[in-house]
Structure 1
Amino acid sequence: MAKPNKKGPTKTVDVFCVGCKTQLFKYRKGGKGALVKCFKERISKDYTQQPCICPNCQGVFARDTLVRGAPAYKIIGGKVTMK
């Protein structure tokens, strides 16, 4: 399996919790589709204290997993939004 591009995209998006509108992280996203997974190496600024848990409302928004051999967060549908 191919690993994600090391350099990564330059466009960043802000990822927010849907429940309380708290910013979770800044992510270098490629493409224009929905946010399904976040590779950890592409997160430029992380605002969470615990992985996959919102710091404000304590809601779980993702699962820690491996995607194509690289560590990533698999986003739970409807739990986050991006701008």
Structure 2
Amino acid sequence: MAKPNKVGPTRTVDIACAKCRAALFKYRKGGKGALVKCFIERISKDFTHNQTHCPECDTLFSRQTLIRGTPALKIIGGKVTFK
């Protein structure tokens, strides 16, 4: 399978916890669909300590995995919002 584009998109979105609205990431997202996964190399600013739990309310919002051989975070449905 093909690796994700190294250059990546230029549009950034703010990802926040759905429970307490704490900022989690600034992420370079491509496309207009739902946020299902975050490639770690596309995270431009990280506000978390370990990338899987919210720093404010300690809610688990993602799992670390490999997608197409690249480290990524699988987002758990309904745990985060973005705009």
State if a TM-score over 0.5 links the two structures.
yes
TM-score range, shorter chain: over 0.9
Q: CA RMSD in A?
A: 0.4
Q: Tell me what 1:15 maps to.
A: 15
DSSP 3-state at the match of 2:7: coil
The offset of 1:50, in angstroms, is 1.7
Deviations along 1:7-61, one digit per CA (max 9) or x if unpaired, are: 0000000000000000000000000000000000000000001221000000000
**Aligned-pair identity (%):** 69
Structure 1: any 5+ residue segments left out of the alignment? none
Structure 2: any 5+ residue segments left out of the alignment? none
The number of aligned residues is: 83
- Once residues 13 and 51 of structure 2 are traced to their aligned partners in structure 1, the CA distance between those partners, rounded to angstroms, is 18
Q: Tell me what 2:65 maps to.
A: 65
- Once residues 3 and 23 of structure 2 are traced to their aligned partners in structure 1, the CA distance between those partners, rounded to angstroms, is 27
The code of the aligned residue for 1:32 comes to K
Q: Tell me what 1:77 maps to.
A: 77
The code of the aligned residue for 1:6 comes to K
The TM-score with structure 1 as length reference comes to: 0.99
